[in-house]
Structure 1
Amino acid sequence: MGTGIVSILLHSLSTLYPGHHGSLNVLSIVFFILNVILFSLIFIVSALRYLIYPATWKLMINHPVQSLFLGTLPMGFATIINMFTLVCVPRWGGASPYIAWGMWWIDAAVSVACCFGLPFQMMTKHKNRHDTMTAAWLLPIVASVVAAASGAVVASVLPNPRHALITIITSYVIWGTGVPLALVVMAIYFHRLAVYKLPPHEVIVSVFLPLGPMGQGGYGIMELGKVALKIFPETETLHPAAGEIMYVLGFGVAIVMWGFGLVWLFFALASILSRQKFPFNMGWWGFTFPIGVFAMATITLGQELPSSFFRILGTVFGSCVMLLWFVVAAGTVKEMARGRMIEAPCLRELERASQRGAEKGRQEA
């Protein structure tokens, strides 16, 4: 997700600054290829793990924290779909728009399954406590928000207006499954922060996660409005002014969500600054994607207004994301070389339970 959003940001900045289009576009393609390699490698390794050791799937899905990260699978895939649509479709033509469309339908189905299934799993199987809640509760829900935004990107390149219309309407519905539910979780999370204070040092980076639904939700509703402005009149959908209404409404909703995102950005920065030191772990990747999608929403606001303020601010946010990517990537490589980076919480807890059982057996003997 973090690598994918960097590639998308670089592509957006290449269109925002034509004078640097060539170099930024090459960099975006480099990160796109790197993202495909990382996603493929991690997906294959994960699939093999659950195929070779099927019992680990049940352990993972029943874990109250680790299972939530299933939502990152469709979100990571969505960044590949977006870049394929933005880079490959214009160059390749032919059937490539429908390849992107097919990938998007798969991503949308998995995203909705995560958005519906994992929260229900939390209600029925997981043992949750309010004082230990983190913003990771948002991960399976934001998957739908990301899929909706990706649907707008794919719809913009479909040659058949009817197919584009189906994609737009479906994306609006998917957006509606994710954003309101994310707001509900954010209200619960705010109450948790107010009552039990900031999360522990190990998961403090999770305070950035609420930027995800605000940034991607705002970006997605603007992109859907832009495509609806074109497709609704072509397909004679609803009313001759329906496309214009959805376009203006999308911008209005987006700028309100952007303002709400500013609140969470302040909370996140204040939380990080209040902690002098916190350990490096895989959670540091939580810096990149939420800030990245917030940067995309900012850049898009600057393009739609048009506004130099939003464009410059979006560029600043985007540059911070790229810098963070290099910092976190370097830390990840360093810790992986030491063998201390990747772990499975569900297996660690199983090992502890086995040790406790063995100790109890020795005591009884």
Structure 2
Amino acid sequence: MTSATTPSPAARTRTAPRPGDRRWLLPELDRPSDLFRDLGPNWFTSVMGTGIVATAAATLPVHPAGLRTAATVVWALAALVLVGLAAAWAVHWLRHRDRARAHADHPVMAHFWGAPAMALMTVGAGALSLGEDWLGESLALWTDVVLWSAGTALGLVTAVWIPYRVITGHRVAADSAFAGWLMPVVPPMVSAATGPALLPHLPPGQGRLTLVLGCYAMFGVSLFASLVIIVQVWGRLVHHGIGPAAMVPTLWIVLGPLGQSVTAVNVLGSVAPLALSERQAAAADAFGFLYGVPTWGFAMVWMALAGALTVRSARRHLPFALTWWSFTFPVGTCVTGTSALATRLDSDALTWAAVALYGFLVLAWATVAVRTARGCLRGGLFLPAGRSTVGR
């Protein structure tokens, strides 16, 4: 992604290993410690993309042998990456505080402040659905409670704070709308989709009711904000084209609020009888179908459109960047949404669609993860965009 600050002279010239430089690790950096210099919140998309591969597997309507074990391993990897990134980001804030603060003022990077919140909740959801096998029921539950609570609080902050900063401080051109604007407003939808799993662990009464009402409210916060932004993105595409090739992968971010909203309404509908009256629970169940199927249909159309535009750009040149993680988490939400519909409607067609989408998700994740690991080992991904050899 683009850096929020002007790179140093060293960063501007250090785009390839120097002659005679025998370092095999981070050869594109002047000093290994430079990896902390421009570490933005967009790095947490790697946790989101890895975590959703695990949690989506747990929701599939089919359960082939070995899938749960493999998914648990991937979840553990996401948890390790989250811990490592959190530690690295702490160093970034301690050593490069001015650069860290500048991310919130950058017209692109600011929106990725939503990524840390979603990373926390994705790992938390995996702890409850998969990690119980390794952590035990109690520790898995409390891990999800802590991460969901922290992610929800941070997500509600970014849903207000980042749009406020954009409205009051950023100069936005008419053709600058891009799907990354969704990043700070999607976390409440992730809260709405993952929070219901905690409901059975609460005692009957006001606690359960408050959680259900809160999840529906956060569903609304994210849904309406996302609809406003998606309309702007569509208008930008029609009137100004797709823009720079490096930003094309962000078109897939639109699938995030769509797929996650389908997941949310159906998961909420399944737990509604634990907190609502019989009549209200029946309405919640019906809403999952009436909202979910049409929205799923639009998500599939958008996926086809984003896929066609991505292929078109790839034929010319699609440079690798952290934006490629947009091929993972948004698709993963479509997997969980499709799985939720397939389970509640007992649909064979949706079951096969969920399996097919999951296969695409795994392929996309493997590709992006390998490219990211390679860029990290060389150090190029830690440089500001345009200064590295990674995407060339």
Under a length normalisation based on structure 2, what TM-score does the superposition of the two structures give?
0.81
Contact 2:204–2:275, Cα closer than 8 Å, also in 1: no
- Report deviation, 1:96: 5.2
- Report deviation, 1:141: 0.8
Whole-Å separation in 2 of the counterparts to 1:344 and 1:108: 30
Whole-Å separation in 2 of the counterparts to 1:42 and 1:96: 21
Contact 1:97–1:158, Cα closer than 8 Å, also in 2: no
Contact 2:260–2:337, Cα closer than 8 Å, also in 1: yes
Contact 2:230–2:254, Cα closer than 8 Å, also in 1: yes
Alignment pair present for 1:37 and 2:80: yes
Contact 1:229–1:247, Cα closer than 8 Å, also in 2: no
Contact 1:143–1:178, Cα closer than 8 Å, also in 2: yes
- Report deviation, 1:297: 0.7
Residues 1:228 and 1:175: Cα distance change in structure 2 (over 3 Å)? same
Alignment pair present for 1:243 and 2:281: yes
Aligned match of 1:259:
297
Whole-Å separation in 2 of the counterparts to 1:11 and 1:39: 20
Residues 1:130 and 1:343: Cα distance change in structure 2 (over 3 Å)? farther
Gaps of 5+ in 2: 1-47, 388-392
Whole-Å separation in 2 of the counterparts to 1:146 and 1:230: 21
Contact 1:10–1:24, Cα closer than 8 Å, also in 2: yes
- Report deviation, 1:163: 2.3
Contact 1:98–1:158, Cα closer than 8 Å, also in 2: no
Contact 1:77–1:107, Cα closer than 8 Å, also in 2: yes
- Report deviation, 1:121: 0.8
- Report deviation, 1:34: 0.3
- Report deviation, 1:133: 2.5
Secondary structure class of the residue paired with 1:199: coil
From 44, 47, 62, the equivalent of 1:17 is 62
Aligned match of 2:162:
118
Contact 1:85–1:157, Cα closer than 8 Å, also in 2: no
Secondary structure class of the residue paired with 2:184: helix
Secondary structure class of the residue paired with 2:194: helix
Alignment pair present for 1:68 and 2:105: no
From 39, 53, 73, the equivalent of 1:6 is 53
Comparing 125-134 with 178-187, greater Cα deviation is found at: 125-134
Whole-Å separation in 2 of the counterparts to 1:339 and 1:97: 37
- Report deviation, 1:77: 0.9
Alignment pair present for 1:50 and 2:90: no
- Report deviation, 1:314: 0.7
Gaps of 5+ in 1: 234-239, 349-365
Q: CA deviation digits over 1:25-54, x for unaligned, max 9?
A: 111110111000001111111122112322
Aligned match of 1:322:
362
Alignment pair present for 1:28 and 2:75: no
Secondary structure class of the residue paired with 2:356: helix
Secondary structure class of the residue paired with 1:209: helix
RMSD: 2.0
Contact 2:124–2:143, Cα closer than 8 Å, also in 1: no
The aligned amino acid for 1:254 is: G
Alignment pair present for 1:227 and 2:267: no
Aligned match of 1:357:
none
Aligned match of 2:351:
311
Between structures 1 and 2, the one with greater helix share: 1
Q: CA deviation digits over 1:162-220, x for unaligned, max 9?
A: 32222111111111111111000000111111100112111111111110000001111
Aligned match of 1:337:
377
Whole-Å separation in 2 of the counterparts to 1:73 and 1:105: 13
Comparing 54-63 with 288-297, greater Cα deviation is found at: 54-63
Residues 1:163 and 1:84: Cα distance change in structure 2 (over 3 Å)? farther
Contact 2:204–2:274, Cα closer than 8 Å, also in 1: no
Which residues of 2 match residues 55-134 of structure 1 at below 5 A?
A: 55-88=98-131, 92-94=136-138, 97-134=141-178
Residues 1:304 and 1:128: Cα distance change in structure 2 (over 3 Å)? same
Q: Using CA pairs below 8 Å that are at least 6 residues apart, which structure has the higher relative contact order?
A: 2
The aligned amino acid for 2:260 is: Q
- Report deviation, 1:337: 2.7
Alignment pair present for 1:185 and 2:185: no
- Report deviation, 1:60: 1.2
Whole-Å separation in 1 of the counterparts to 2:58 and 2:321: 29
Residues 1:101 and 1:335: Cα distance change in structure 2 (over 3 Å)? closer
Identity of aligned residues (%): 25
Residues 1:247 and 1:58: Cα distance change in structure 2 (over 3 Å)? same
